[in-house]
Structure 1
Amino acid sequence: MEERRTRGLVVGRVLGAQVIVQPSTLLMLALLSYVFASASGETTASTLSIGVLLAVALMGSVLLHEFAHAIAARSFGRTVKEIVLTLWGGHTSFESHDMTPTVNGVTAAAGPAMNLVIAGAASATMAFTQLGGVAGAVVSYVAWANVLLAVFNLLPGIPMDGGRVLESVVWAITRNRNRGTVVAAWGGRVVAVGVVVYSIAGPLLSGGRPSLTSVVIAVLVFSILWPAASAALAFSSTMLRRDGVDVAGLMRAAVAVPYTYSVHEALGAAATAGVEEVVVLGADDAPAGRFPVEQAQAVPESARLTTSLQSVTTPVPRGSEIPAGAASDVMIPALREWWGKSDVWVVRDGKAVVGIVRLVDVLAALK
């Protein structure tokens, strides 16, 4: 099946990946051009031309930021799938199987690092060439804008690159990516609130009033950061709960007995082992059924010695087994396979039967 690509105008290829410009990017380009052109108080052909140059320079910096992500991903042997410019910036998608904290963190940090390189190059150009006029204004703006891009993207919260770096650091320390994502997602929420507080409460505390522009920008930034961070938090919190689900925590200890046993012998084996579940083995020593001790105890004591296990046993489909050390990554696919076919798995530790796991308990734990 062909992988679905982001919709937009394909403008070329870099490192084998399509470079895609979404239509909304052109809208942002036009809006930025107007904002820059009208900053002086009046909009003329001259200021509009400068506005377009500044807007293009900003978009170019964003594109180079994304190229840096792609270069870093390729340096780790990852296939870069696409580089996309969007209304609010851009994103780079690459092969993500077998991710490590190093690949995740370095690839994320490469974008802001590129912005700092651009800012440094622009500042050096101004220092050594003494540019003036329009050219000097554009180069100075490039330096200033890239410093802001780097600082903003390094803020320690999802969805910023700094959030991915924080995620990787926590992931490396805890050896759990979902825990890292939870920390970085909370960071994103803090940053979202911080932007609003800084933009609105800051001027009020200093005796002034926030401008309409700062309020609009704060609300827009909050509307992007908070939902993205919240979605990451919800997903990773769910995955963290699943990380704690394993066979050992859900298993009910059991003893295995041959099908030739009587109810009396099976209850004796269960009492000796101190368990409440019994697994019945077939002629080939494969699990063929199971029953709880209380079910067998319902047989009158006088009849237990002569009553076969068939009267108390619930059949277990062949193959309905799971290893004792299995965690959620094994249990979830097995649950899909066996749901509706069996109500339990027989747990084996090597060749030995050690317990049973009820599928309803697994489902409840995974929710």
Structure 2
Amino acid sequence: MPSSPRPTRGFQLGTLVGARVIVQPSTLLMLAALAFLFASGTEGGMTRRAFTLGLALAVSLFVSVFLHEAAHAVAARAFGRRVDEIVITLWGGHTSFDSTALTARVSGVTAVAGPLANVAIGLALMGIGAALPLTGIGAGILSWAAYANLLLAAFNLLPGIPMDGGRVLEAIVWAVTGRRHTGTIVAAWGGRVVAVGVLLWAVVPPLLRGAAPSLFTIVWAFLIFSILWPAASQALRWSQTLARREGVSAASLMRPAVALRFDASVAAALNLADDAGAEEVVVLAADDAAAGRFPVTTAREVPADRRETTGLDAVTTPLPRGAAVTVGADAEALVEALREWWGRTDAWVVLSEGEPVGVVRLLDAMNALR
């Protein structure tokens, strides 16, 4: 199982479905900024009462963001995925979960869960507002919270990375074509289109009306653009990596190997390897676990007249226990294995139904996965 990522710095509020709930300190700055922004736009200007109301509206927005991320976490957990963190940040939030051997279905459903949660919350709040005779501040906060959830859902459903709608689009194209990197390319370009569209939305409509664009709107549009465009561009670069990794697996990288016990001779190892056409020999310990390996070329360096009497310890490179991957391990699984084993061994034993069938050298894997 892949190891959990290093915890994000921030205030930990608890756990949900096994995931740490983290609020980054920068979130407090955004809360204060939003409270000031909301308060300054109220009738009567900035007052203590207006700031308190603005803070309540800002808090309701971040609660909506948290529920959005919580829905992602619950969906991922429903697919049996380990969920590591739910992080609330300056610009929103993100959820980290185990994406090993990810499928289009898991990716798409997990992504759409967040916006659907906001739609459900928004409609529920609208229903509560219609059913209860609320007035004044209570009615205002409820109405704002409903509007914020629906707006959050609509924005996140835009078909471009890094929005959830982009991940849904990626999953759809992935499922249709069978290629994840194709879906990533389409969704990343969708993200770039959305980023440019935000700028055009801020500038074009006022100009068509013969008015000057609002400086406030332009600033916010540029901030959103500065988040969306780099994220989409990074996804495009990632798609190139995915394309290079397509087809990379333990089976494609391994050098065929045979296995025999540690007490055999170099001659026995060479005879077995030659009969099987193997390039590597895996040395088994007394309990039949892989304990070492060596290339056949190394064994051939032993003089022919000494091979019968030379033990495998003379040519074997030790392997740490557990330095193995299955023959079906794909590129993503190999990346996780590299993170775990780099610096601890120079090769993995490749297992098929628990039996050694090959050896993958870590340098070969790293070069193939770059």
- TM-score, normalising length: structure 1: 0.68
Q: Name the larger-Rg structure.
A: 1
Shift of residue 328, structure 1, vs aligned partner: 7.6
2:15 aligned to 13, 16, 20, which one? 13
Is 1:213 aligned with 2:222? Answer: no
Amino acid of the residue matched to residue 240 of structure 1? A
How far does residue 330 in structure 1 lie from its aligned partner after superposition? 11
Tell me if the contact between 2:68 and 2:117 (Cα under 8 Å) persists in the aligned partners.
yes
2:85 matched residue in structure 1: 82
Equivalent residue in structure 2 for 1:23, among 22, 25, 30:
25
Query: Which residue is equivalent to 2:99?
Result: 96
Unaligned runs of 5+ in 2: 250-272, 280-295, 301-328, 347-362
Cα distance change, pair 100–318 in 1 and its aligned pair in 2 (3 A)? farther
What's the offset of the Cα at 1:77? 1.1
Shift of 1:124: 0.3
Cα deviation for residue 204 of structure 1 reads 1.2
Contact 2:68 2:118 (8 Å CA) reproduced: yes
Aligned to 1:71: 74
- The Cα of 1:3 is off from its aligned counterpart by 3.8
- Quote how far apart the aligned CAs of 1:95 are: 1.5
Provide structure 1 residue ranges, at least 5 long, that are not aligned to the other structure: 247-282, 290-314, 320-325, 342-358
Structure 1 moving runs of 4+ over 3 Å: 283-289, 315-319, 326-334
Which among 112, 115, 118 is matched to residue 115 of structure 1? 118
Q: Is contact 2:56–2:141 with CA below 8 Å preserved after alignment? A: yes
Matched residue of 1:142: which SS? helix
Report the residue type matching 2:25 in the other structure.
P
Q: Within 2, Cα distance between the matches of 1:329 and 1:127? A: 50
**Is 1:160–2:150 an aligned residue pair?**
no
Structure 1 CA distance for aligned equivalents of residues 15 and 242 of structure 2: 36
Q: Identity over the aligned pairs, expressed in percent?
A: 55
Change (3 A) 1:331 1:153: closer
Superposition pairs of residues 175-190 of structure 1, within 5 angstroms: 175-190=178-193
CA distance in 2, matches of 1:81, 1:145: 27
Residue 141 of structure 1 pairs with residue 144 of structure 2: yes
Does the Cα contact within 8 Å between 1:170 and 1:180 map onto a contact in 2?
yes
Count of aligned positions: 282
Letter in 2 for 1:165: V
| Residue 52 to residue 182, structure 1, CA distance change in 2 (3 Å) | same
Once the two structures are superposed, residues 284-340 of structure 1 have per-residue CA deviations (whole angstroms, 9 ceiling, x without a partner) of 367799xxxxxxxxxxxxxxxxxxxxxxxxx97789xxxxxx998899999xx9xxx
Ranked by relative contact order (alpha carbons within 8 Å, sequence separation 6 or more), the top structure is 2
Following the alignment from structure 1 to structure 2, what is the Cα–Cα distance between the partners of residues 81 and 329? 18
CA distance in 2: counterparts of 1:93 and 1:202, whole angstroms:
38
Pick aligned residue for 1:51 from 34, 54, 74: 54
2:75–2:109: 8 Å Cα contact kept in structure 1? yes
